Amino acid sequence: MTDIDIAGVRGKIVVRRWDPADPPLFVAVLVHGYGEHAGRYGHVATALNEAGAVVYAPDHHGHGRSGGDRALVDDVDRLAADVAKVVELANREYDELPVVLIGHSLGGMIATRYVQKQHARIAALVLSAPLLGGNPELLALAELDPALEVPLDPKTLSRDPKVGEAYAADPLVFHGPFHKQTLKELTATVARIAKDPGFGDLPTLWIHGEKDALAPYAVTKKAMAHLRGTIFEEKVYKGAMHEIFNETNQTDVIADVVEFLHRNVHSS
């Protein structure tokens, strides 16, 4: 793995790059979720390397080793603009390869805004438990005065208790409560997503856990009805929780993503 520092919209962004053993066939940009960092996706990157991808994964502004106030999400479109800078970096280093976006949770929201804001064309989109319809109970906290300080509960991430334990012990993960400004921005972004265009002919795979308490499936499904385009696939994993890349059936989940990308992404 190689670390690359780039100039983001509002300061330094640290990007991890995982290189495959053989010359890559495509580029995958991993877009992580709220409060976490790209380093938690090493196992996903390894599987994508084996599938022929060179993998880029930024720590968002305010997350991981990048600059900014910790876990303050005050402008999702600026985070999407940072992802666009990562795509630009990938295009400079591998200018003939197709690029795919893989976004989890908040990362799925950011990837969606990347597409809606018409940044550089990508070859495919994978959305893992995307925060597209929000979480009504969580977002409602922003309307309370004073707002309740509620941190993310690690027990809601996966059926595997070791995932929550590792999350709670990770010093690069933000363990404090949601900022009120973050909740307001997520609410506003949900509204923008509902107003702006869908995915058109962009090949898209949506994967979700049936028992996701953080990005509830039923709420996300309503938002996805507006976004889904002409080349759209959906997989819901029975009993799975929010972090399906870290679930007890993660091998099957990652294999489904790789199979989708092999069918829909071709090197030039």
| pLDDT reading at 62 higher than 80 | yes
Mean pLDDT computed over 33-37: 98
Active site residue 105: yes
Q: Give SS3 for 242.
A: coil
Residue 162 — pLDDT band, cuts 50, 70, 90? very high
CATH of 2-264, one of 3.40.50.1820, 3.40.50.1440, 1.20.1250.20, 1.10.540.10: 3.40.50.1820
Residue type, 123: A
Q: Note the pLDDT tens digit of each residue in 81-137.
A: 999 999 999 999 998 899 999 999 999 999 999 999 988 899 999 999 999 998 887
pLDDT confidence of residue 151: 83
Distance linking the first and last C-alpha atoms of the chain: 25
Strand order in the sheet with 53-58: 2-8, 11-18, 53-58, 26-31, 99-104, 124-128, 204-209, 232-237
Residue 222 — pLDDT band, cuts 50, 70, 90? very high
Spatial distance between the Cα atoms of 62 and 77, rounded to a whole number of angstroms:
14
Mean pLDDT computed over 151-158: 93
| pLDDT reading at 184 higher than 50 | yes
Q: Which residue in 60, 104, 208, 242 is the catalytic one?
A: 242
Mean pLDDT computed over 141-159: 78
Active site residue 104: no
Residue 180 — pLDDT band, cuts 50, 70, 90? confident
pLDDT confidence of residue 268: 41
| pLDDT reading at 267 higher than 50 | no
Between 263 and 267, the more confident residue is 263
Give the rounded percent of residues in the chain with a pLDDT score beyond 90: 88
The domain segmentation of the chain, as residue ranges, is 2-264
| pLDDT reading at 149 higher than 80 | no
Residue 65 — pLDDT band, cuts 50, 70, 90? very high
Give the rounded percent of residues in the chain with a pLDDT score beyond 70: 96
Q: Which residue in 59, 82, 212, 256 is the catalytic one?
A: 212
Active site residue 75: no
pLDDT confidence of residue 120: 87
Q: Which residue in 66, 105, 128, 158 is the catalytic one?
A: 105
Cβ-based neighbours of 211, under 8 Å, separated by 6 or more:
239, 240, 241
